[in-house]
Amino acid sequence: MTTTIELKPSAHPLPDAEREAILANPGFGRHFTDHMVSVRWTEGRGWHDAELVPYAPLSVDPANMTLHYAQTIFEGLKAYRRPDGTVATFRPEANAARFQTSARRLAMPELPAELFIAACDELVKQDKAWVPAHGEQSLYLRPFMFAAEVGLGVRPANEYLFLVIASPAGAYFKGGVKPVSVWLSEDYVRAVKGGTGAAKTGGNYAASLVAQKEAADKGCDQVVWLDAVEHRWVEEMGGMNLYFVYGDRIVTPELSGSLLPGITRDSLLTLARDLGCTAEEGRISTEDWKRDTENGTLTEVFACGTAAVITPVGTVKSRQGEWTQGGGEPGEVTMRLRKALLDLQSGAAEDTHGWMHQL
């Protein structure tokens, strides 16, 4: 196995003026940089043909196994521009490790962590001009892997393609740090213990869309998933984990086996302690959520994830009724943690935990 990535850069990158126009208002996941990294795995040969090539469409056989049986996994991490003009990514080794866990669950080959990190590094170095230089913007990296074998037999494929693409990212939610409204999904479930909920696999997101649509029909921005057995223990949101703020004690749902172990969630357990809060993993039911909001002990709720950073939760709607956190305004602890995380990532604060991977 080699971590050497052959560089075959584009002869026609996007002109500077067009790239700058995109960076002025990137949105989320709408524009892609000039290059991508590609590595192939073949049974008996392992990982080979690692290369950085111009971003381009792939040609797909109609009988490609992924199209039929969804053997596919992905990751999400960001590269940030630092005050001195250099670029760094946030905890890429944690994404590499989660990618291996997802691969095991989907019966796919594990990509060595060094190759995962080298692929992200080469792409960011090549497309450095695409890393936004202002405010809270960043370059979102999307490593992913899928079955590349052609055939209709239901079994692990004998060939896979690992790719990394990159997309400049502004705010995930259009309203910026405006609190989002959430719908507690009681009819649909995202995942069960023993299922694929802890893996970052496309099928989890496909299965979530009908509930996300139900949330939108109820006038909400996002769906909140509950446990699949009792339908009362809060798990996570569409693409984010959740935190409950009880004064200076913050609590996030424990890793039940059916929710995604978010890297932002994990980082905040440490960052909150740095800020003098108590940070815990625990169980929160929908009844706790409503009651503790109404009796004033649950002061704030927020969602966290790579794409969404930290986003306050405002209105909560469920079959039991509707309530609002903190008068619908972003809470003080939420905003303090958000600033601490963004300062660390952008280089405005010291990286005391060694989380930034400087390129």
Give the one residue of 236, 311, 314, 344 binding ligand PLP; rule: CB under 6 A. 236
Q: How far is the CB of 25 from ligand PLP (least distance, A)?
A: 23
Give the CA dihedral 344, 350, 355, 359, nearest 10 degrees.
Answer: 90
Residue 218 and residue 99: Cα distance in Å, rounded?
34
Give the CA dihedral 57, 100, 235, 292, nearest 10 degrees.
Answer: -110
**Which is nearer to ligand PLP, 51 or 266 (by Cβ)?**
266
Binding flags for ligand PLP, 238-257, as an x/- string (CB under 6 A): -xxx----------------
> What is the total count of residues that contact ligand PLP (CB under 6 A)?
12
39 and 162 in contact (C-beta within 8 Å)?
yes
Give the one residue of 138, 185, 241, 306 binding ligand COI; rule: CB under 6 A. 306
333 and 301 in contact (C-beta within 8 Å)?
no
**Which range touches ligand COI (CB under 6 A), out of 16-24, 59-67, 213-221, 302-310?**
302-310
* 306 contacts ligand PLP (rule: CB under 6 A): yes
**Which is nearer to ligand COI, 139 or 277 (by Cβ)?**
139
* 262 contacts ligand PLP (rule: CB under 6 A): yes
* 318 contacts ligand PLP (rule: CB under 6 A): no
Residue 287 and residue 320: Cα distance in Å, rounded?
9
Give the one residue of 239, 314, 326, 331 binding ligand COI; rule: CB under 6 A. 239
Cα separation values, 187 from 67, 192, 202, 209, 210, Å: 27, 14, 21, 13, 11
Q: How far is the CB of 321 from ligand PLP (least distance, A)?
A: 26
Q: Where does residue 129 fall: left (phi above 0), alpha (psi -120 to 50 degrees), or beta otherwise? A: alpha
Q: How far is the CB of 226 from ligand PLP (least distance, A)?
A: 14
- What is the C-alpha end-to-end distance of the chain, expressed in Å? 23
Residue 262 binds which entry of ligand PLP, ligand COI, none, CB below 5-8 Å type-dependent: ligand PLP
Residue 99 and residue 226: Cα distance in Å, rounded?
24
Residues that bind ligand COI (CB under 6 A): 76, 239, 305-307
| Interface contacts to ligand PLP, rule CB under 6 A | 76, 236, 239-241, 260, 262-265, 305-306
